[in-house]
Structure 1
Amino acid sequence: MSHYAPFVPAPRVSLINAQGESIPLSQMYGQRPLLLQFSRHLGCVFCVDHAKQLLKNYETFQRHKIDVALVIMGEAEEARKFREALKLTFPVYADPDQSVYRAFDVPRGNVWQVAGPHLWWEGLKALTRSGIGVPKGDLMQLSGTYLIDTNGLIVWDFRPATSVEFPNIDEILVAADTLSPIADA
């Protein structure tokens, strides 16, 4: 469910970039607001599909003066390969022990929420669009989306109830526009 967060400070954490360097999260939102997207396990067809949607809308995010970063629960090398395989133009960071997932309280699901029969049709459609990957990581982990302003406050978030749910791009843009005016196209 998406909502305007009560302006909670973002956790003081670091992520690992594709080169294996530890980067403080605070460096990622110091100049522009940051859309931080936590992925499910590597191989999640919904997450690959959503990463492609973020890429498709990346220029729009940039015009709305927000940066995008994707977090996976793999290692630095897996972050690099994920970014290259999908030709993503925004950074992909690694959180191998899921400590940042826990710091952000990214929800975990149960079997019904991640693979229940009510999700099979959407899964088949995502599989057709994005192919299948090899599951690696916490299969019960759900995704999460957080908009962090330049003061380090979480001003909007989306915490899904199932593995198929991701925020509507327009909802993200409306939330971002409350932080700063849209740049000229």
Structure 2
Amino acid sequence: MHEYYPAAPAPKGELLTADGRKVSVSSLYLLRPVLLQFSRHLGCVFCIDHAKQLLKHYEMLKRHGIDIALIIMGDAKDAQTFHDTLKLTYPVYADPNQKVYRAFNVPRGNVWQVAGPQLWWEGLKALSRSGMGRPRGDLMQLGGSYLIDTNGQIVWSFRPTSSVEFPNIDEIVVAADTLSPIADA
């Protein structure tokens, strides 16, 4: 579900870039607000599909004043592979021990929430659109989306209740527009 916060400070933490450098989470929103998109396990059909949707709308999201940072639970090599395989134009960061996931309180699910039969139809549709990788990592980890302004405040979030749930692009745009004027005229 999405939440509009009375702004709350973004947690601290370190991530790895695709080339293996350590970067602080706070460096990601120094110049522009950022949408931190936490992915589920590597190979998640829904996450691959959502990453492609973000790519499709990336230029428009930038015009609305925000950057995107995709976070995976793999290592730097996994981040590079994910980035290159999907031909993403926004950065992918690694959180191999899920410390940043925990700092942001990204939800975990149960078997029903991550693989229950109510998800199978959506899973087949995502698989046909975007393909699938080999499942690796914490299979119970759900995703999460957090919009952080340049003051380091979480101003909006989306915390799913199942593996199929991601914010739609319109929700992200509305949240971004609360931070800056619309720029795609």
The one-character-per-residue Cα deviations of 1:7-30 (angstroms, maximum 9, x if unpaired) are 110011111101111101111101
| 1:55 paired to 2:51 | no
Corresponding residue of 1:164: 164
CA contact (8 A) 2:60 2:184 kept: no
Identity of aligned residues (%): 71
Corresponding residue of 1:174: 174
Distance 1:3 1:174 in 2: 12
| 1:5 paired to 2:5 | yes
Distance 1:184 1:47 in 2: 27
Query: What is the deviation of 1:131?
Result: 1.3
TM-score w.r.t. the length of structure 1 is 0.98
Q: Which moved more, 1:175-184 or 1:17-26?
A: 175-184
User: Tell me, what secondary structure is at the counterpart of 2:112?
Assistant: helix
Distance 1:32 1:164 in 2: 28
The one-character-per-residue Cα deviations of 1:121-165 (angstroms, maximum 9, x if unpaired) are 000111111112100000000000000000000000000000000
Q: How does 1:5-44 map to 2 (within 5 A)?
A: 5-44=5-44
User: Tell me, what secondary structure is at the counterpart of 2:5?
Assistant: coil
Residue 159 of structure 2 aligns to which amino acid in structure 1?
R
Give runs of ≥4 in structure 1 deviating > 4 Å: none
Distance 1:122 1:171 in 2: 20
Query: What is the deviation of 1:184?
Result: 4.8
When the two chains are superposed, the root-mean-square deviation of aligned CA atoms in Å is 0.8
Distance 1:32 1:57 in 2: 17
Q: How does 1:133-148 map to 2 (within 5 A)?
A: 133-148=133-148
Q: How many residues align?
A: 185
Query: What is the deviation of 1:183?
Result: 2.3
User: Which 5+ residue runs of structure 1 have no aligned equivalent?
Assistant: none
Residue 13 of structure 2 aligns to which amino acid in structure 1?
V
User: Which 5+ residue runs of structure 2 have no aligned equivalent?
Assistant: none
